[in-house]
Amino acid sequence: MKVFPPQLWRNKETLYTLIAGKCNKCGNIVFPYQEFCNKCKSFNISKIKLSGKGTLISWTVAYQNRPGFEKTTPIYVGYIKLDEGIEIVAPLTDVDESNLKENSRVEATVRKLKSDSTNGLIEYGIKFRLV
Amino acid sequence: MVEVLIQDSSMLKVDKHYEEGLLDLAIKASKEILNDQLKIDALIVSNSYSEKTADQVLLSTKLANSLGINTLTFRIENGDASGGAAISTAYYMIKSGMIKTALVVGVEKLGDFPMHFVNDIISQNLDEKFSYREGLIPQSYSALRMKMYMKKYNVDYDYFTEWPYLMHKNGAENPYAFLRFQADKKTISTSQVVSDPLRLFDTSPRADGAAAILMTSDDVNLKTEGKVKIASITSANSEFNVLELPAVREAFNKTKDFKPEILEIHDSYSINAALILEEIGLEKGKSLSMLDSIQVNFSGGLKSRGYPGGATGIYQIAEEYMQLTEKFPGKRASGERGTVISTDELGTTSYIINLQRC
């Protein structure tokens, strides 16, 4: 068994809906969400849902993988500036490489990440595609 | 004021030691510097991945029992910076006056597995909630770094070949090196693409290894062949930053007056070598064209000596100790002051360890 339901369940807000933490004192956004601001050290944090929209700053194509991700290799990986101002590294999907350009607009979509086996549990998560 | 000395070191050749387990390697490295007269006050094991690579925990107690030592034992884990963290721990314990001797043993086994499984092991360095779950690998972070560096400083891929070329040239002389061969620049620049533009020679070979360091206070007189003082240790950490290594910069700035003549840096990727060198003073965007001006990684670095995970920092210390005591069996550096920069895979934590010949 490679996919354990409790691990996915407790990360569902991160992996399915891009929930982040916004500091009510200094405005700092932390993704994934945590109950503490790592800039001003405040505990006054609100949950916000990131828009999932952003701009592609750069990207790479990974030809190596990890167990469970063989079917989606090579893996396109983007360095993305989300509209809320934070920068994240995340997988890209539905990629036609000739269309990948710096400053392309991208949006988040939920996709299958991996599964235990052909009949096993499926793990889903966020990937980004060109708009 | 108590001074902290390194009085002995040992290391095994970094390799794929299929015939030996984690404990076997640790015992081999330890026994080289133990003797009946030596009283060890603390045994510290530096290891990062044993739960996943050897299905083992309680390493320091098991090693102590195997060595017949009944003392204070613990393991230090801080990813691939575990070595720097372990040395720092022993340093502060001795400095405090609470103990006089510490045996610090770095050990790791990463050679048993195919690459995709090793990738899974090292990807534990990424955050669990998002990056690890999403199937990312650290090589992609380094590839993004490299690509953005190339754009910012207007350099092409050939610029990066300077680093693995020098590392393999140095490592070819090091009998402890894993990949002990020279590599020409064409071989480097046409090697397999791992994550575009990062190629195989820009990464470091994960393998097995064990190294040990004997640290003491300055009032412990042993009949060893050379003593080196730990002049200072600093550390810092930061979040992942694409084009900078704030953790290295901040730790180095706390001790910039030391002015080392010999460097051992954590070159997990060629781009990390460039960024580390630039954070400690070389010109940004040009560091890999200035390698003739410094004495760096005469061991061959992670690229040629090899990358034994959480044991890496102990290798670096052992290599610098041997350089400063003129015992290193490979390419010799000149100087009386050396610095080890121990970091994790992506440079988010760093330990700057300054060594001075006694």
What is the tens place of the pLDDT at every residue in B157-201? 999 999 999 999 999 999 999 999 999 999 999 999 999 999 999
What is the tens place of the pLDDT at every residue in B315-341? 999 999 999 999 999 999 999 999 999
Interface contact A67, partner B, CB < 8 A: yes
Pairing of strands B262-265, B337-343: parallel
Specify the pLDDT at position B343: 98
Q: Is residue A110 part of a domain?
A: yes
Interface contact B221, partner A, CB < 8 A: no
Query: Rounded mean pLDDT of chain B?
Result: 97
Range with lowest mean pLDDT among A112-116, B19-23, B109-113: A112-116
Contact across the interface for A64 and B133, Cβ inside 8 Å: no
CB contacts of A88 in chain B (<8 Å) are 130
What is the tens place of the pLDDT at every residue in B104-162? 999 999 999 999 999 999 999 999 999 999 999 999 999 999 999 999 999 999 999 99
Rounded to whole angstroms, how far apart are CA atoms B118 and B191?
Answer: 19
- How big, in percent rounded to 5, are the helix, strand and coil portions of chain A? 15, 45, 45
Rounded to whole angstroms, how far apart are CA atoms A37 and A30?
Answer: 7
Query: Which tokens is B345 given?
Result: 């895979």
Fill in the amino acid letter for A55. T
Cβ within 8 Å of residue B112, ≥6 positions away: B16, B18, B53, B208
The secondary structure element, H or E, covering residue B87 is helix B82-95
How many degrees, rounded to 5, is the angle at CA A23 between CA A18 and CA A29? 40
The predicted model gives B38-67 an average pLDDT of: 97
Rounded to whole angstroms, how far apart are CA atoms B75 and B47?
Answer: 7
Q: Is residue A57 part of a domain?
A: yes
CATH of the domain at A106: 2.40.50.840
Q: Is residue A122 part of a domain?
A: yes
Rounded to whole angstroms, how far apart are CA atoms A15 and A32?
Answer: 9
Q: Is residue A34 part of a domain?
A: no
The predicted model gives A73-93 an average pLDDT of: 97
Rounded to whole angstroms, how far apart are CA atoms B214 and B194?
Answer: 38
State the pLDDT confidence band at A121, using cuts at 50, 70 and 90.
Answer: confident
A124 φ, ψ to 5°?
A: -110, 160
Measured in angstroms, the CA of A26 and the nearest CA of chain B are apart by 18
Q: Is residue A107 part of a domain?
A: yes
Domains, in order of start, for chain B: 4-113+207-229 (3.40.47.10), 138-205+231-357 (3.40.47.10)
Q: Is residue A68 part of a domain?
A: yes
Specify the pLDDT at position B280: 97
Instruction: Among B115, B120, B124, B134, pick the best mutation site for testing chain A contact (most A Cβ within 10 A).
Output: B134
What is the tens place of the pLDDT at every residue in A23-42? 999 999 999 999 999 999 99
Rounded to whole angstroms, how far apart are CA atoms B279 and B61?
Answer: 38
Locate the DSSP E strands across A16-104: 19-23, 29-30, 45-49, 53-62, 75-82, 87-91
Rounded to whole angstroms, how far apart are CA atoms A89 and B134?
Answer: 10
Specify the pLDDT at position B209: 98
Pick from B308, B313, B292, B22: which is nearest to B179 by CA? Answer: B308
Contact across the interface for B193 and A31, Cβ inside 8 Å: no
Interface contact A66, partner B, CB < 8 A: yes
Specify the pLDDT at position B223: 79
The predicted model gives B3-15 an average pLDDT of: 97
Specify the pLDDT at position A1: 62
Q: Is residue A62 part of a domain?
A: yes
**DSSP 3-state of B350:** strand
Interface contact A80, partner B, CB < 8 A: no
Pair A100, A86: CB distance under 8 Å: no
What's the domain count of chain A? 1
The predicted model gives B217-226 an average pLDDT of: 88
Rounded to whole angstroms, how far apart are CA atoms A127 and B131?
Answer: 11
pLDDT greater at residue A68 or residue B351: B351
The DSSP annotation for B176-199 comes to T-SS-S---HHHHHTSPEEETTEE
Rounded to whole angstroms, how far apart are CA atoms B269 and B347?
Answer: 10
Interface contact B144, partner A, CB < 8 A: yes
Specify the pLDDT at position B37: 84
Interface contact B78, partner A, CB < 8 A: no
Pair B39, B101: CB distance under 8 Å: yes
Query: Which tokens is B334 given?
Result: 């000149």
Specify the pLDDT at position B125: 97
Its domain, for residue A74, covers 5-14+51-130
Please give the residue of chain B at the shortest CA–CA distance from A4: B133
The predicted model gives A53-72 an average pLDDT of: 95
ipTM over 0.90? The verdict is: yes
Specify the pLDDT at position B224: 75
